[in-house]
Amino acid sequence: MNLALFDLDCTLLAGDSDFEWGQFLIAKGILDPEIHAAQNAVFYQQYQEGNLNIDEFLAFQLAPLARHSRKELDAWHLEYMQHHIRPIIGQKARQLVRQHLDRGDLCAVVTATNSFVTGPIVREFGIAHLIATIPAFENGQFTGKPRGLPAFREGKVVRVESWLESLGLCWESFAESRFYSDSHNDLPLMSSVDHPVAVNPDNTLRALAQEKGWEIISLR
């Protein structure tokens, strides 16, 4: 059996699901466009530079969930999927996932974006397993805080290993393990598999992939 792990944003998607969720909420008049855009730009710059403060970012990312009921959020998500997400799912990405599923590989998406936003997207690809940052949920309402370790940088490795252990598996259980990602922020997990694949990589990851002889592909 082989293991196939996929980053989501700018990897399987030709865009960022969290950014698109913010744009959707702005279009609905739920978020202030100037305030949200300014804050988002700061965090995006930190992410690109590899020094994102994940706790501050999650406080920003998860806050809108806490202001609305789950019923209302779920209804919005259906609209968001239709107009913001399906248009940025390319055929090459769907085919790549289908190839791994058809081979019987154990597949999972591993993403820092919260599981409320990403869960339906992962199901759209037909992938059963999602390892994402978990938004805390109490008394029928999101709290605006994360629960447990965020699936970011080294946290992705910890979360994947915990998931594998829950299945009675480990890295050595697989003939081959792959991780597809676009970002240098995913180097900890890319270094944990035996076949890292750079997908439309950022400049830092592209240079390192070329240096190490990692496979580089495009899903666009």
Catalytic site residues? 7, 9
Q: Phi/psi zone of residue 60: left (φ > 0), alpha (ψ -120 to 50 degrees), beta?
A: alpha
- Report the distance separating Cα 115 and Cα 129, nearest Å: 11
Q: Confirm if 201 and 219 have CB atoms less than 8 A apart.
A: no
| SS3 label, residue 60 | helix
Q: Confirm if 151 and 179 have CB atoms less than 8 A apart.
A: no
- Report the distance separating Cα 64 and Cα 32, nearest Å: 11
